[in-house]
Amino acid sequence: MPVCANWRAKMGRMLTIQDVTLVRGSHTVFSALSLNLAEPRIGLIGDNGAGKSSLFRMVCGLDLPRVGSVQVHGLPAHEVSAKRPGLVGMLFQNPDDQIIFPTVEEELALSLSPSGMPRREAIGHARSFLQTRQLAHWGARSISSLSQGQRQHVCWLALLIAAPQLLLLDEPYASLDLPGQARLTQDIAQASQQVIVSTHALDHVRGFGRVLWLDQGAVRADGPGHSVCAAYQADVATRSALPAPALQ
Ligand SMILES: Nc1ncnc2c1ncn2[C@@H]1O[C@H](COP(=O)(O)OP(=O)(O)OP(=O)(O)O)[C@@H](O)[C@H]1O
């Protein structure tokens, strides 16, 4: 492939954020933020309120930037759900923001609706999928009878079955037990798609080729997981050693 066509093909698969200002409520979360994200595994780290979920919401088209553009595989992010509904999938920090249907198999079947699969077939497919995960007994279970970690697991299964090309995982390990965390790590390692993971548990992204450290809406460091995680930890250690600020 000629160099120019190669470059265009790469750009077409990329997530690009260009000169973005994002305002939520009265708070400016990002100001003149630009990023090109093409690596297969990317970690997002940073303090509470740094902007990790806001970045995901923007990439999903849930929040529109006031200035600048967000493009996913060459499409404006806010047009993705209408024009290419199978392109981006997001695992929300809170499973209750994601789950719609009353049973596990119905929720998984919903993930197949963008593919145009008829509902009865989608339910059958969801059951077979659960069987491959040794979870056949979960199919008819009511979501309300599941624990928080189990609901987070269902949300992950819903993304896996939908198989979008870009997976955005917002603190996916937060409620999972140790076997669940190991399973998710294995699933992510085996996924053929691009995966972006936001987490406070640095060990889950330390081995990634690229990690972004967000600090108050700006990129404080961007590079291999080992060095960016070490820099963030060193900064946290320095700040933790400071005397607590006086209460107003
Ligand atoms: N609905 C909202 N309205 C106004 N401001 C918001 C809203 N949601 C988040 N913010 C603000 O946007 C900033 C970024 O929040 P965001 O949720 O993206 O952070 P985060 O890095 O995901 O944090 P956490 O690690 O706690 O999940 C914060 O200053 C937060 O107060």
pLDDT of residue 247: 61
Better pLDDT: 71 or 98:
71
Residue pair 81/61 in contact by the 8 Å Cβ criterion: yes
Render pLDDT for 166-217 as a digit per residue (tens, 0 to 9).
Answer: 999 999 999 999 999 999 999 999 999 999 999 999 999 999 999 999 999 9
How far away, in angstroms, is 215 Cα from ligand 1 center? Answer: 12
How many angstroms is it from 217 CA to the middle of ligand 1?
Answer: 10
The predicted structure's pLDDT at residue 8:
47
The alpha carbon dihedral of 175, 178, 183, 189 has a sign of positive
- Tell which one of 17, 20, 22, 54 to mutate to probe ligand 1, the residue whose CB is within 8 A of the most ligand atoms: 54
- Name all residues whose Cβ lies below 6 A of ligand 1: 24-25, 27, 29, 46, 48-54
> What are the tokens at 178?
């140790």
Assign 1 a pLDDT band (cuts: 50, 70, 90). very low
The protein residue with its alpha carbon nearest to ligand 1, atom 27, reads: 48
Residues 16-69 pLDDT 10s: 999 999 999 999 999 999 999 999 999 999 999 999 999 999 999 999 999 999
E strands in the chain: 15-24, 27-37, 41-45, 67-72, 75-76, 88-91, 166-170, 194-198, 210-215, 218-223
Query: Could you tell me the distance, in angstroms and rounded to a whole number, from the CA of residue 48 to the centre of ligand 1?
Result: 8
State yes or no: ipTM above 0.95: yes
2 versus 157: the higher-pLDDT residue is: 157
Main-chain phi, psi angles of 196, to 5 degrees: -115, 125
The pLDDT-based confidence of 3 (bands split at 50, 70, 90) is very low
Give the pLDDT band of residue 11 (cuts 50, 70, 90). Answer: low
Angle at 139 between CA 156 and CA 133, to 5 degrees: 55
**How buried is residue 62: exposed, middle or buried, by Cβ count under 10 Å (0-12/13-18/19+)?**
middle
| Closest atom of ligand 1 relative to the 49 alpha carbon | 19
Tokens found for residue 117: 């699969």
Question: Closest residue (by CA) to atom 13 of ligand 1?
Answer: 49
Going by CA atoms, what residue is nearest to atom 25 of ligand 1? 48
Which pLDDT score, from 0 to 100, does residue 99 have? 85
- 98 pLDDT above the threshold of 90: no
At residue 246, the pLDDT reads 67
Substitution site in 29, 45, 90 for ligand 1 pocket (most atoms within 8 Å of beta carbon): 29
Mean pLDDT of the chain: 91
Please check the confidence at residue 165 and state whether its pLDDT lies above 80. yes
